Each structure stands twice: as structure tokens, then as C-alpha cells.
Structure 1
């Protein structure tokens, strides 16, 4: 079984690449290009994920979701956030009906 700590290790690598020169690091180049470039990559990867799913190619789907998750980690780093911030939110929602959780956001409860 895969180790969830990979998210932390990737986040640490992304954090370290913030100080790298953009000609030597894709992450540094992406971060230095700003939020709009990161968001564009996430949209691109999300579209590729959708297409892989529609094609029914599970191997390709896993590959595209890995790309999507990676770029989401870059976005978290851009905002000085870590994977654990998202994991805490998922943990908070655990056991709560999705319908009920969504309603709580509208009512501010």
C-alpha cells in the first residue's frame, strides 16, 4: 500500500524548490510565474483527468490524477499551506453527510 507520507515529502520538496533558480526547477519556474499560471496548470490537469476517466483508461487516469494532485500541492505551497491543512479538513468532514456539510456552509453553522 502506498504511503500517505509521500504528500509530506512532496510538499517538502516543493518548499525547498521555492528558493531554486527557475531555470533549474519546474516548481520554481511555476511558482515564480504566479498564481494564474499555477491555476492554469490545475485546470489543464483537471481536464486531462476528466478525459482519461471518460476514455476508461485507468492507468492513464491514475497518471493524470497524480499530475493534478502535484499541481494542487504547488498551489498549497503558493499560499503557504501544507497537505495536512487539507487532511485536517477532510478529517473534520469525516462521518458528516455531504448534503449536511454543504448546507452548513450556506447557513454559516
Structure 2
């Protein structure tokens, strides 16, 4: 059995319904998820530092943190992972350069 982002999304959904005293996920989602968004930013910076340092083990850990916190932020904003995946699928229908050029500035 392979662990997927959809599995993680389900775990986050379950944990978000718990008491913030008992669930880190629920605690992150208090106050409109501001703490979750801040934590995502912190983890993203730590991921960049690990990548620049060529520290594969640390990059792996930080990437896991980014994925978790991103899914928590999505949950807090009621954006299903499937919507994000659909957007990625839409974008892969054309070259990355063409897709980027088509965005409004």
C-alpha cells in the first residue's frame, strides 16, 4: 500500500475536527488558519535552505512539512486537493512557458 496526498488530506480532515488541545492540526486552523499559513511560510523557507545546502535528508523532511502544512492551509480555506490537482492537470496541457505567459499580470 502506498501513502498518498489524498491519504494525508483525509487524516488532516479527521484531525481538524478534534479539539485544538488534542490536535496540532486543529490548533493550526484556529483563528481562520492564520497560524497554518504562517507555518507554511516558515516551512517553505526551511525547504529552500535545505535545497540550497544540498542536504538531501533535511530537504526530504522539510518537503514533508511543506506538503502537510499546505494541505492544512487548503483545508482551512475549503480548497480540496482534487481542485489543486485539476489545476495542475490543466496547466500540463500546454508548455510551462506558454502557461506562464497566459497568466494575467
Indicate the SS of the match to 2:103.
Answer: helix
Given the two structures, how large is their TM-score scaled by the length of structure 2?
A: 0.89
Equivalent residue for 2:25?
Answer: 27
What root-mean-square deviation, in Å, do the aligned CA atoms of Structure 1 and Structure 2 show?
1.7
Deviates more, 1:10-19 or 1:43-52: 10-19
Given the two structures, how large is their TM-score scaled by the length of structure 1?
A: 0.86
Deviates more, 1:61-70 or 1:97-106: 97-106
Deviates more, 1:97-106 or 1:84-93: 97-106
Number of residue equivalences: 105
Structure 1 segments (4+ residues) deviating >4 Å: none
Q: Deviations over 1:9-67 (max 9, x none)?
A: 11111111222011110001111143321111011001100110111111110110110
Shift of 1:94: 1.1
Deviates more, 1:91-100 or 1:62-71: 91-100
Counterpart CA distance in 2 for 1:59 and 1:95 is 33
